[in-house]
Amino acid sequence: MKKLETDIAIVGAGPAGLSAAIHAAKSGARVTLIDENRLPGGQLFKQIHKFFGSKEHLAGIRGFDIGTQLLKEVEALGVDVMLGTLAFGVFGANSLGLVTDQRSYELTAKRIILAAGGQENYLAFAGSTLPGVMGAGAAQTIINISRVRPGKKAVMVGSGNVGLIVAYQLMQAGVEVAALIEAAPHIGGYGVHAAKISRAGVPIITSHTILSANGKDSLESVTITGVDCAFQPIAGTERQIECDTLCLAVGLNPMTELAWMAGCKFEYVALFGGHVPLHDENMKTSVDAFYVAGDICGVEEASTAMEEGHLAGIAAAESLGFIEKEKASRMKAEAREKLNMLRTGYFGQKRADFKKHMLESFACVCKENRT
C-alpha cells in the first residue's frame, strides 16, 4: 500500500468538506480532499433552487452555483482533490485507508475532518424493492445531474424539505407528480415549499402512508392508506394511485462509519437523524486528531454544513499553528455567529437547542475521561 502524507485530510467534498478545505488551505496548511464520487459537490450540484438565509451569505443563489464557486476556490488554492476515492477505514491514531481504481493507499494526516454527509433512509413495505421505487435524493440525482426522467408519473412520500423540493424539481423536469403523502397530520418542511407544489396542483395528503407498491416487472401503482395518530392504518381508507415512480423522502441519517472506527464518542439525537459524533465548539470530536462538520454530526442544511466546515477548517488549521490564536478566535466567532443566525425561528430553534445539548454532552464526556 502506497503511503501518503498531508497536514489536513478531509473526507467528503460536499458543502461542509469544500468549505473546510478552503479555509484550511487559505491558512497555508497542506490539504487533501477526498470523495468517493467521481464528481465533487455532494448535494450541492443537485440543488437547483435558490437558497434561503442572509443575502450577505449566498441567499438567493442556486445551490449548484454555490457549488461551482466553492469548487473554483478549492482548485485555485491548490488543494489536493482525490475523487472516486473511498476512505474505507481508520488505522492507528490518524491514518485513513483509501481505495481508488483498485489501488489502495494509507494517508496519514495530522488532522482529519470527517464531512461525509448523510444517506437516505429506507421505508419497508410490500413491493418496496420494485424498480421505480427510489430515494427522493436518487430521483434528484437522476434528473438534475444525469438529465433523465426516472419515470413519467411520480408519487412522493414525505413532506420534509427534501420531499417538497424534489416534488417541485420533478415537475420542472417534466415529470407529473400525482400526490405527496405524509404520515404525520401536518407538513414537515417549509410552508413556502409546500405552497409552490400546491399551486402546481399537487395534492398534499397528510395522515396517510404507503401500504404497497404494485407492479410486475416495475412499479405501476401504489396503494396508500389513512393512518391514525399512532400511525396505524385505518381500515377502509385504502386507495390506489397510478404511477411509475415512487420517491421516498423519509429522512437522512449521518454516514458515521469512520467516526465510529476512530473511537469517537456518540449520542443518539433523533432530530439529527440518529447516532451523531459529539463535538466541541471547534467541531473537534472526543478523539484528538478528528473533527466533524455537516450532516455527519447532525442532519441540517447545506448552509449550516458550509459554516460548520468553515469552523472546522479554521480550528484544525489553528491547532497546527497555521493561524495565530487571536485571528483564529475572531474567525471562529464569526462562523459561530452565522450558525446561530441559521438556527433560529420555527425550524431552527430546535436544532440550536440540540446542538447546545451536544456541546454539553461533549463536556461531560471529557470530564469523565479526565477523572
Partner 1 sequence: MTHERDECMNMTDMRIKKHPILSTQQTRKLITIYFDGKAVEAYEGEPISAALMSAGIRSFRKTRKRGEPRGVFCAIGRCTDCMMIVDGRPNVRTCITEARDGMKVETQIGRGEFKSP
Partner 2 sequence: MSLLQCGYVSKEELVKCPGFPSEERMAKGAVAVIECVQEIPCNPCEYACPQKAVVVGDNITNLPVLREDLCIGCGLCIACCPGLAIFVVNKAYSETEATVEFPYEYNNIPGVGETAEAVDRKGNVVCRAKVLSVRNPPSNDHTSVIKIAIPKEYADDVRGIKRRLD
- Which residues, at least 6 apart from 179, have a Cβ–Cβ distance to it below 8 Å? 155, 156, 202, 203, 204, 205, 224, 241
Site membership for partner 1, residue 135 (CB under 8 A)? yes
Residue 344 interface partner, choices partner 1, partner 2, none, CB cut-off 5-8 Å depending on type: partner 2
Residue 51 interface partner, choices partner 2, partner 1, none, CB cut-off 5-8 Å depending on type: partner 2
DSSP string, 298-359: S---HHHHHHHHHHHHHHHHHHTTSS-HHHHHHHHHHHHHHHHHHT-HHHHHHHHHHHHHHH
Cβ closest to partner 1, residue 147 vs residue 325 = 147
Beta pairing partners, 3: 106
Cβ closest to partner 1, residue 129 vs residue 240 = 129
Distance of CA 368 to the CA centre of its chain: 31
Task: Using CB under 8 A, list all residues that contact partner 2.
Answer: 49-55, 59-62, 171-172, 174, 176, 185-187, 190-202, 204, 206, 341-342, 344-348
Sign of the alpha-carbon torsion through 321, 323, 327, 331:
negative
Residue 185 interface partner, choices partner 2, partner 1, none, CB cut-off 5-8 Å depending on type: partner 2
Sign of the alpha-carbon torsion through 167, 169, 170, 174:
positive
Residue 141 interface partner, choices partner 2, partner 1, none, CB cut-off 5-8 Å depending on type: partner 1
- Specify whether the CB–CB gap between 15 and 117 falls below 8 A: no
Residue 342 interface partner, choices partner 2, partner 1, none, CB cut-off 5-8 Å depending on type: partner 2
Cβ closest to partner 2, residue 26 vs residue 196 = 196
Applying CB under 8 A, among 98, 130, 204, 316 the residue interacting with partner 1 is 130
**Which residues contact partner 1 by CB under 8 A?**
36-38, 48, 62, 64, 119-120, 122, 129-135, 137-139, 141-144, 146-150, 172-174, 217-218
